[in-house]
Amino acid sequence: MSKVYIALQDNDESRYIVEAIEESNPDATVIHMPAMIRIEQENRLVIERKVVEEKMGRDWDVQELHINLITLGGNVDEDDDQFVLEWKQ
Partner 1 sequence: MAAKKLNIKDKYRLLTRDLDWDFSYEDPKKAFPYEEFEGIKITDWNKWEDPFRLTMDSYWKYQAEKEKKLYAILDAFSQNNGHLNVVDPRYVNAVKIFLTGVSPLEYQAYQGFAHVGRQFSGVGARVACQMQSLDELRHVQTQIHAMSHYNKFFDGFQEFSHMHDRVWYLSVPRSFFTDARSAGPFEFMIAIGFSFEYVLTNLLFVPFMSGAAHNGDMATVTFGFSAQSDEARHMTLGLEVIKFLLEQHEDNVPIVQKWIDKWFWRGTRLLTIVAMMMDYMLPNKVMSWKEAWEVYFEEAGGALFKDLARYGITMPKYADVIEKEKEHISHQAWWTFYTHGHAAGFHTWIPSDQELDWLSEKYPDTFDKYYRPMWELAKEQEAKGERFYTSGLPQLCQTCQIPMLFTEMDNPNQNSMRDTVFDGERYHFCSDGCCDIFKDEPEKYVQAWLPVHQIFQGNCGGPDVGDILSDYYRMNVGVDNMDIKDSPDEQRWNKWKGVA
Q: Which residues bind partner 1 (CB under 8 A)?
A: 2-5, 7, 9, 33-36, 62-64, 66-80, 87-89
Least distance to partner 1, CB of residue 39, Å: 13
Q: Which CB atom, from 24 or from 73, has the smaller least distance to partner 1?
A: 73
Contact 14, 79 (CB under 8 A): no
Residue 27 CB, nearest approach to partner 1 (Å):
17
Q: How far is the CB of 30 from partner 1 (least distance, A)?
A: 15
Beta strands in the chain (DSSP E): 3-9, 29-33, 36-42, 44-48, 69-73, 75-78, 82-86
